[in-house]
């Protein structure tokens, strides 16, 4: 039977995921505040405001629910509304149904980790962030863990890809992160975000066991200085300004994706080199040879 997947927050990542699931034979429903962008995509559009109780009650039954909402601004109230309150409302809605989803996937973030001295972190590492973003994410993760629904949280590191090119533009401006102390950074291409979710859904649909938590980051956690220096070489730019980020805001950890790779997932962009090369080529950042 054809599986139905409901993507809540069907934006950039959700649309790529939806196309992959359509190719795999799923019926895909994409819910977002304005569903106009989904028209003609093959994804069934569903306008949705999660603060609307009637809209929540009318959510369709689905084999898989993928929660990829984003906060509309960087403050605690917006984060709590998008991640905690929204997810909890969805959990309550489906927990009360006669037919439960086979699994609900919640997209979280590696901001839940407080480590900042270059430590290696994985799914077993303490996640005790002091900032509101990580704290709110952990509360949402815990809500899913305690739910009656089968659920899996996926923690993405820094997402980049088409339209997510801030680091490239900083390098174009001649800026670079300091070499010392090393600030380890972690990232994942947007297409791998969708690929990871499609992969996990496929495993569950095939009856394979899933863990309740996966850390999804590429295979090359490296100092941000080295990443930007490589970008500068590709762009043929000479760095002229060292970014002086306050130490209190410095994040430096190395994400270990072993658990995810052990499920058989193969990264499309195993490191920033392959990923940013694609983004720069597609985005017209690289000068054409004369």
pLDDT in tens, 19-38: 999 999 999 999 999 888 99
More confident site: 1 or 197: 197
Where residue 194 falls among pLDDT bands split at 50, 70, 90? very high
pLDDT at 290: 34
In a domain, 10, yes or no: yes
SS3 readout for the chain: CCCEEEEECCCHHHHHHHHHHHHCCCEEEEEECCCHHHCCCCCEEEECCCCCHHHHHCCCCCCEEEECCCCCCCCHHHHHHHHHHHHHHHHHHHHCCCCCCCEEEEEEEHHHCCCCCCEEECCCCCCCCCCHHHHHHHHHHHHHHCCCCCEEEEEECEEEECCECHHHHHHHCCEECCCCCCCEECEEEHHHHHHHHHHHHHHHHCCCCCCCEEEECCCCCEEHHHHHHHHHHHHCCCCCEECCCCHHHCCCEEECCHHHHHCCCCCCCCCHHHHHHHHHHHCCCCCCCC
CA distance 186 to 111: 11
Report, as an integer, the average pLDDT of 3-15: 97
51 pLDDT band, cuts 50/70/90, is confident
Residue 113: which CATH number? 3.40.50.720
The residue-averaged pLDDT of 126-139 equals 94
For 178-187, how does the pLDDT look when each residue is reduced to its tens digit (9 = 90+)? Answer: 999 899 999 9
175: in domain: no
| Residue 138 counted as domain residue | yes
Identify the pLDDT of residue 289.
Answer: 46
Residue 42, in any domain of the structure: yes
- Does residue 92 form part of some domain? yes
Question: What pLDDT shows up at residue 246?
Answer: 55
Residue 247 confidence (pLDDT): 44
| pLDDT cut 70: percent of the chain above it | 97
Q: What would the pLDDT profile of 241-281 be if each residue is shown by its tens digit?
A: 998 765 445 679 999 999 999 999 999 999 999 999 999 99
Domain that holds residue 115: 4-161+186-219+252-269
The structural domain count of the chain equals 1
Choose the weakest-confidence range: 39-53, 189-203, 259-273. Answer: 39-53
For the chain, what is the mean pLDDT?
94
Asked if the model's pLDDT at residue 156 lies above 90, the reply is yes
pLDDT given for residue 28 in this prediction: 98
pLDDT value at 287 more than 80: no
Return the minimum-mean-pLDDT range out of 73-87, 114-128, 130-144, 238-252. 238-252
N-term to C-term CA, the chain? 54
Q: Residue 257 domain-assigned?
A: yes
In a domain, 243, yes or no: no
Does the residue 209 lie in any domain?
A: yes
């Amino acid at each position: 039977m054809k599986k139905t997947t409901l993507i809540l927050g069907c934006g950039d990542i959700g649309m790529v995921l939806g196309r992959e699931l359509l190719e795999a034979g799923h019926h895909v429903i994409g819910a977002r505040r304005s569903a106009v962008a989904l028209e003609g995509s093959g994804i069934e559009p569903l306008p949705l405001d999660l603060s609307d109780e009637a809209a929540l009650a009318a959510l369709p039954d689905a084999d898989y629910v993928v929660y990829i909402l984003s906060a509309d601004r960087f403050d605690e109230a917006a984060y709590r509304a998008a991640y905690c309150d929204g997810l909890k409302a969805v959990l309550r809605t489906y927990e009360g149904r006669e037919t439960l989803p086979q699994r609900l996937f919640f997209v979280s973030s590696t901001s839940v980790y407080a480590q900042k001295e270059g430590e290696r972190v994985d799914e077993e590492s303490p996640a005790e962030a002091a900032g509101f973003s990580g704290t709110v994410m952990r509360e949402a993760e815990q809500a899913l863990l305690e739910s009656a629904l089968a659920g899996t949280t996926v923690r993405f590191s820094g997402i980049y890809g088409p339209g997510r090119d801030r680091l490239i533009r900083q390098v174009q401006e001649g800026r670079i992160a300091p070499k010392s102390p090393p600030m380890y950074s972690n990232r994942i291409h947007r297409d791998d975000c969708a690929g990871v979710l499609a992969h996990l859904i496929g495993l569950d649909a095939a009856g394979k066991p899933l863990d309740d938590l996966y850390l999804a980051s590429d295979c090359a956690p490296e100092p941000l200085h080295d990443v930007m220096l490589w970008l500068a070489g590709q762009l043929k730019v000479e760095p002229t300004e060292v970014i002086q980020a306050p130490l209190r805001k410095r994040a430096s950890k190395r994400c270990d994706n072993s658990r995810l790779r052990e499920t058989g997932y193969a990264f499309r962009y195993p490191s920033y080199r392959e990923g940013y090369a694609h983004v720069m080529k597609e985005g017209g950042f690289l000068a054409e040879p004369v």
